[in-house]
Every structure is written in structure tokens, then in C-alpha cells.
Structure 1
């Protein structure tokens, strides 16, 4: 498991935000296509189930980038990611939530999102 410093995690936020935009777009496209297929049985582009599978594959690839860089994806709606870190000798997760402009939160590993605190 990769352990990030606060500076390393903060330096990754511009790319995280760019890649988050891709996930958000794919997630929305997948939700709309799924609704359309479930409602009408057809997709606007005519791809149907194959189109949905392709979107799912692209979403999986986009999420895989985070995992491949040691970043934990905790949820995709909204997108919530954690960077494993150590603060003051304690295992924590530096926490970024979709819509955050910068990395400004952390929580103790065992507490999860409910234990979020602002970074000093």
C-alpha cells in the first residue's frame, strides 16, 4: 500500500479533478442509458446493451487509474477518494470529495467519512 505525504496528495489534486470529471461524465451517461434501456428497451444511439457494457468498461478503466496510483476509491456517486497517509504517527486517510477544490480533509482510518476533520 502506498502511503502519501500531504504534499504528495495535494500535488495530485489537479489530475484527480481532471480524472474525476471523466468519471462524472461516464457515470451520468451510464445512468441515463440505463434508464432509457429499462424504460424503452432501446438506446438513442442504437447500441443497446453493448453500449452500456462499453460505458461500464470505460468507467472501470477510469476508476482503475486511481487504484493504480494507490488512491482508494470509496464511492462513485458522489466520487469519494482517500489517500492513505500518516499524520502525527497515526494512520489516516486524506479525503477528497467530488466538488472539493482542494485537498482539505482527513479522517482516522478506522473512523471513515464520519470522522472527517480539516487538515491543519
Structure 2
């Protein structure tokens, strides 16, 4: 498992935010199309049948799948960096980080200006705590290490 210093994680935020926005927009667009198709199905059922533009519905399904593919690709790209997507809808990401010989998770959510929280793997988001000096020391000492 890849681990990050707070500085490394922070430097990735612009890229990750862009990928998350792409995933969120794709998911919302796919859900909108899915709702339109479901509404059409409801209208067909309630009216006992009706003429349907099959080509248009097929186009919508293809468009919906393209949006979902964009979501999957964005999440896969984030995952390939080593960052964990916890919730696409809220843009919640976790960055594995080694502190005091334990792996914890730096925690960031879309809209936050910086990574300012962490939690244990067991505690999850509800156990978020403010980043403290241990994270800053690790960041500074890792920057001073010879390569």
C-alpha cells in the first residue's frame, strides 16, 4: 500500500479534485438520464402502452453508459494514484499515511481548502481528528532525507 506525507497528499489535491468533479458530473448526468427512462416506463405502464421512440431511448441508454464509464475511469485513476475514494457524491477521499508505525488515513472532502483531518482505519470519517504536529514532522523529515 502506498502511503503519503501530508505535503504529498496536499500536492495531489488539484488533480484529484478535477477527477472527482468529472466523476460527480458523470454520475449526476447518468442519474438524470436514468430518471428520464424510468419516467417513460412509468408513463407507458399508466397509459397501458404508447408509442416510444426506440432509437431515442437507445441513444439515452448509450449516453448514460458513457457517463458511467467516465465515472469508472475517474475513480480508477484516483485509485491508481493510491488514494481511496470513500464517497463520490460528497467527494470524500482518504490518503494512507504512516504515523508512529501505524497506517492512518488523511481525510479530505471536496470543498475543504486543505487536508486538515485524519482518522484511523477502524474509526472512519466519524472519528476524524485534526492533523497535529506528528504529521508535519514526518513531512519535514521526509523532505530532508537523502535520496
Does the pair score TM above 0.5?
A: yes
Structure 2 unaligned segments of length 5 or more: list them: 42-53, 133-147
Match of 1:57 in 2: 69
Q: TM-score, normalised by structure 1?
A: 0.88
SS class of match (1:47): helix
Q: TM-score, normalised by structure 2?
A: 0.73
Structure 2 residue 55 is the aligned partner of structure 1 residue 81: no
Q: Equivalent residue for 2:142?
A: none
- In the alignment, what sits opposite 2:40? 40
CA distance in 1, matches of 2:27, 2:64: 11
Contact 2:22 2:70 in 1 (8 A): no
Q: 1:11: Cα distance to partner? A: 0.8
Relative to its length, the structure with more strand (as a share) is 1
Aligned residue pair count: 120
SS at match of 1:64: helix
Backbone CA RMSD of aligned residues: 2.1
Q: Which has the higher contact order (CA 8 A, sep 6+)?
A: 2
| Displacement over 6 Å in runs of 4+ | none
Question: Hey, what does 2:135 align to over in structure 1?
Answer: none
Mapping of residues 1-120 of structure 1, within 5 Å? 1-40=1-40, 47-120=59-132
Structure 2: how far apart are the matches of 1:54 and 1:7?
Answer: 35
Give the whole-Å Cα distance in 2 for the aligned partners of 1:46 and 1:17: 32
